Amino acid sequence: MSFLAAFGVFVSAAALFVVLSGFAGLKDYTLEFVSYASPDLKVEASLGKSFQLSKDDYKELSSLSVFSRVHKAVQERVLVTTDKNSQIVLLTGVDNGFPERTIDSLLVKGRWFTENEKELVVGWGVGNNLGLEVFDNISPPVIFAPKPGSGQVLSVDSAFNRSSFLTVGVFELNEEANNLEAFTSLVAAQKLLGYNKLQVTSLNFYFDGNTKENVAIEKIKNILGDSFVYKNRLAQHDTLYKMLNTERAAVYLIFTLVIIIALFNVVGALIMMILEKRNDLKVLVGVGLLKSQISKVFFYQGLLISVTGSVLGILFGFFLVLLQDSFSLFMITPLLAYPVSVSFNTFVIVFVTVVLLGGLASRIASSQAVKALRSKD
């Protein structure tokens, strides 16, 4: 019974370790792709959608040694229409400061847009939904953008700016971006939205080497002032982070329930041993051993089963994760192996969870030893 109970703990600990490592790998993989198109630091206006950025301020910020690259951006939700369909798209206009490595990692078809031209690079899902073809001059998409200002809307022309754009490329990042986003040049986006040349919605910074976030923010504040919102990559994708963390927490709770069920084997094994050894326990009491001490014997035995099973399970789970990382045993697609990631926290979480629950189960089972002795009396 002890070996059977230990085996149940072993399997549940290994399963929890593998699943947590798998979700950690999936999280790292997802965030790695998101970071391709996200700056290290994003500065936005605290009031309103846009702000004025002077040429002198931009030049001074670009010359700071803590940044490898700085670029301006304009972002707005627009309506893109074609002969086949229409869709609300998040249009982002960027200047030539947008990193080349990001462009190379995003593009899967066509090319990047030309600066100052009305050209469009769309997500794979957007292009598919709208039926867009790269370099299609015959039926290019038409973009409707809300005009700035206030007052009564009398017609579509008074409420929206409209312009035709040539689709020149397709990118693939993640499901959300693929189905929602499109890129164009900063100048084209400013003209479409009715912005002047100094008006932007965000200023994006890429750190140079080991630049610290608080140092970078302080240097920016010295030039722009305090009336801005500063967002690191976590803040830029807070919804995605929350979703991934929630999924991992849910899986952890589910497999914790599996561990609890497996620990019933420990409780059952200890109770059966207590019932089987009642006569022997009576002898121990007769030679002067306290009932509480007898209870501790079974408690430590259950704890030993839990510790042994968890340690062996963690080691076996770690071995399986190494196999997946090295030999790609399980594939998401024919070219993409399921990602895994192991950290010290995973070892600690699994060990502490199994041992704490195992200790609780052992305490419940060991209390039956005292009851058995009382019934014998």
Per-residue DSSP letter, 342? -
For residues 354-367, one letter each, b for 16 or more C-beta atoms within 10 angstroms of the residue's C-beta and e for the rest, the string is bbebbbebbebbbe
Domain shared by 253 and 311, yes or no: yes
Do 57 and 174 sit in the same domain of this protein?
yes
Amino acid at 133: E
Same domain, 67 and 88: yes
Q: Which amino acid appears at position 270 of this protein?
A: L
Check whether residue 11 and residue 79 sit in a common domain.
no
- Reference 106, options 213, 46, 34, 45; nearest CA is 34
Query: How many domains is the chain built from?
Result: 2
Token pair, residue 131, equals: 């039926």
Domain identity same for 254 and 153: no
Q: What one-letter code names the amino acid at 161? A: N
Q: How confident is the model at residue 314 (pLDDT cuts 50, 70, 90)?
A: very high
Same domain, yes or no: 228 and 296: no
Enumerate residues 6+ apart whose C-beta is below 8 A from 202: 42, 43, 44, 72, 73, 74, 75
Query: Residues 250-281: pLDDT tens digits?
Result: 999 999 999 999 898 888 888 888 778 777 77
Q: Under a CB-based contact definition with an 8 Å cutoff, are residues 109 and 172 in contact? A: no
**Average pLDDT value for residue range 66-95:** 95
Task: Tell me which of 182, 200, 233 is where a domain ends.
Answer: 233
- The verdict on 17 and 141 lying in the same domain is no
pLDDT surpassing 90 at residue 369: no
Q: Work out the mean pLDDT of the chain and round it to a whole number.
A: 90
Whether 19 and 127 map to the same domain: the answer is no
Q: Helix, strand, or coil here: 14?
A: helix
Structure tokens, 190? 């400013």
pLDDT tens for each residue of 85-113? 999 999 999 999 999 888 888 899 999 99
The predicted structure's pLDDT at residue 4: 83
147 and 284 together in one domain: no
Same-domain check for residues 121 and 214: yes
Domain that includes residue 173, residue range: 39-233
The 10s digit of each residue's pLDDT in 118-150 is 999 999 999 999 999 999 999 999 999 988 765
The mean pLDDT of 191-197, rounded to a whole number, is 95
Final residue in a domain of this structure, among 233, 264, 279 = 233
The residue written with tokens 């010295």 in the block is 222
Q: Examine the domain organization and report whether 340 and 366 are in the same domain.
A: yes
Instruction: Name the domain boundary from 207, 233, 259.
Output: 233
pTM of the model: 0.78
Could you tell me if 283 and 194 lie in one domain? no
